Chains A and B, each alone.
Chain A
């Protein structure tokens, strides 16, 4: 009797003990599994493709900038076809880019495209800096919220004094903003001279001593024949966002060629039209484009609006 109950008690204890040990081992295995899984997760990427989203944005900005440049170069006769072709080109670029993600759960798209019309005003044959009707003092463009590629190449300078009011005064290019006027004077007082009056200053200061007739003055870059000109700082002192008016005073005292691209459609009525062989004339341009881009994956949603302005440094 005693033998039997002893065997049974020992057997029960061994059974319970064995079960407890077995449970412990299972728990340890589960923990080991969790540790292995954790290490596995630690070495994986997070799955959020932030770099791809930025790449999509960058590529679209670059593509749109190049397309704008290319379409602007084609000298359209009207704004409509230019805008239509830019829209089609940018949309095509977006579709082409999107096909890269076909077969994945990524949706990269161009949700909106807004074009801002601009105008290029050009005089490519040398003549007085007057409008097409010969008016010496005239407004080239008004309400421009940006100006780029503004160059002048004077090849005959008649004015002998900086004062534009006197009969032999300088030719003056005025850029007028809401808080003043920036002026560039061109005259010859014994040698061709450029003088600049910034918006905050009372009188003009001579700049670019190396200036000579026939030299190409780049107002935006601040260079003369490609050489940096200290003091030639376009629209200095004006509110940087514009809007600006550009006018020429005493254009009949200087002859030469010039070109500028302004972010406006309000231009002098006395200009020849696009495609005309004579100048000064205006040509349609797309000054800038605003792209609404989005990039979506199950983990990431990224929406941005980027402004593409070819020829300007800030994007």
Chain B
């Protein structure tokens, strides 16, 4: 009788242990997978956002080269990416102009060629407006 009672308790303990181990392993695996997927999806999204901003900046640059009275381009962008909020920065130096899109620790840099000067800027993610102001292209939140 006593032995049967012990056997039941041991079986229960073992079952609980194995179930816990299996579930923990499964959750750890999916958690890691989600983390790495989030990172790669965020990177892909930032890259596309950066390229869209550069494309529209280039369009504005091409239009600005014709000595117009005004140029204004609106770029439609998602309000956030997989990892949350993001920021768009325009970094123009004498050597290179680039658009840097950053969300958390993930940052993507898209270089561009321009003829019209581009002003440095840093705006929160979402729709942006590119305008020609005083001979330089400016990026601002729309």
A24-B27, A302-B70 in contact; A38/B59 too (CB < 8 A)? no
A300 partner residues in chain B, CB cutoff 8 A: 59, 72-74
A38 partner residues in chain B, CB cutoff 8 A: 41, 44-45, 48
Q: Which of A10, A21, A27, A50 has the most CB of B within 10 A?
A: A50
Are B33 and A54 in touch, CB under 8 angstroms? Answer: no
Pick the contact of B56 from A46, A57, A301 — CB < 8 Å?
A46
A27 partner residues in chain B, CB cutoff 8 A: 34
Q: Is A298 an interface residue (CB 8 A)?
A: yes
Q: Complex Cα distance A301/B12, Å?
A: 73
Q: Is B9 an interface residue (CB 8 A)?
A: yes
Are A54 and B19 in touch, CB under 8 angstroms? Answer: no
Q: Complex Cα distance A65/B73, Å?
A: 29
Q: Is B121 an interface residue (CB 8 A)?
A: no
Are B75 and A46 in touch, CB under 8 angstroms? Answer: yes
Q: Complex Cα distance A88/B124, Å?
A: 48
Within 8 A of B (CB), among A1-49: 2-3, 6, 9-10, 13-14, 16-17, 20-21, 24-25, 27-28, 31-32, 34-35, 38-39, 41-42, 46-48
Are A57 and B31 in touch, CB under 8 angstroms? Answer: no
B residues contacting the other copy or chain, number (CB 8 A): 46
- Which of B61-69, B84-92, B102-110 touches A? B61-69
B52 partner residues in chain A, CB cutoff 8 A: 41, 46
A42 partner residues in chain B, CB cutoff 8 A: 44, 47-48, 51
Q: Is B55 an interface residue (CB 8 A)?
A: yes
Within 8 A of A (CB), among B77-121: 81-82
Q: Complex Cα distance A6/B16, Å?
A: 8
Q: What mask results when residues 286 to 310 of chain A are scored 1 for a CB within 8 Å of chain B, else 0?
A: 0000001000001111111100000
Are B62 and A24 in touch, CB under 8 angstroms? Answer: no
Q: Complex Cα distance A109/B142, Å?
A: 25
Q: Which of A2, A34, A57 has the most CB of B within 10 A?
A: A34
Pick the contact of A20 from B20, B27, B60, B66 — CB < 8 Å?
B27
Are A304 and B69 in touch, CB under 8 angstroms? Answer: yes
Are B27 and A13 in touch, CB under 8 angstroms? Answer: no
Q: Complex Cα distance A47/B9, Å?
A: 69
Are A48 and B75 in touch, CB under 8 angstroms? Answer: yes
Q: Is A53 an interface residue (CB 8 A)?
A: yes
Q: Complex Cα distance A57/B59, Å?
A: 15
Are A13 and B62 in touch, CB under 8 angstroms? Answer: no
Q: Complex Cα distance A112/B34, Å?
A: 58
Within 8 A of B (CB), among A41-94: 41-42, 46-48, 50, 53-54, 57
Q: Complex Cα distance A142/B69, Å?
A: 32
A residues contacting the other copy or chain, number (CB 8 A): 39
Nearest chain B CB to A233's CB is how many angstroms away?
27
Interface of A is mostly: helix
A17-B27, A300-B72 in contact; A24/B34 too (CB < 8 A)? yes
Are B19 and A10 in touch, CB under 8 angstroms? Answer: yes
Q: Which of A25, A39, A302 has the most CB of B within 10 A?
A: A302
Are B48 and A48 in touch, CB under 8 angstroms? Answer: no
Are A35 and B44 in touch, CB under 8 angstroms? Answer: yes
B22 partner residues in chain A, CB cutoff 8 A: 17
Are B15 and A21 in touch, CB under 8 angstroms? Answer: no
Apart from A6-B15, A302-B71: 8 A-B pairs, beta carbons within 8 A = A2-B9, A9-B16, A28-B37, A32-B37, A34-B41, A34-B81, A39-B44, A302-B70
Interface residues of B (CB under 8 A from A): 5, 8-9, 11-12, 15-16, 19-20, 22-23, 26-27, 30-31, 33-34, 37-38, 40-41, 44-45, 47-48, 51-52, 55-56, 59-60, 62-63, 66-76, 81-82
Interface residues of A (CB under 8 A from B): 2-3, 6, 9-10, 13-14, 16-17, 20-21, 24-25, 27-28, 31-32, 34-35, 38-39, 41-42, 46-48, 50, 53-54, 57, 292, 298-305
9 closest A-B pairs by CB: A50-B59, A17-B23, A304-B68, A24-B30, A6-B12, A301-B72, A42-B48, A303-B69, A303-B70
What are 9 of the A-B contact pairs (CB < 8 Å)? A2-B12, A10-B19, A14-B19, A20-B27, A34-B41, A34-B45, A34-B81, A299-B75, A302-B63
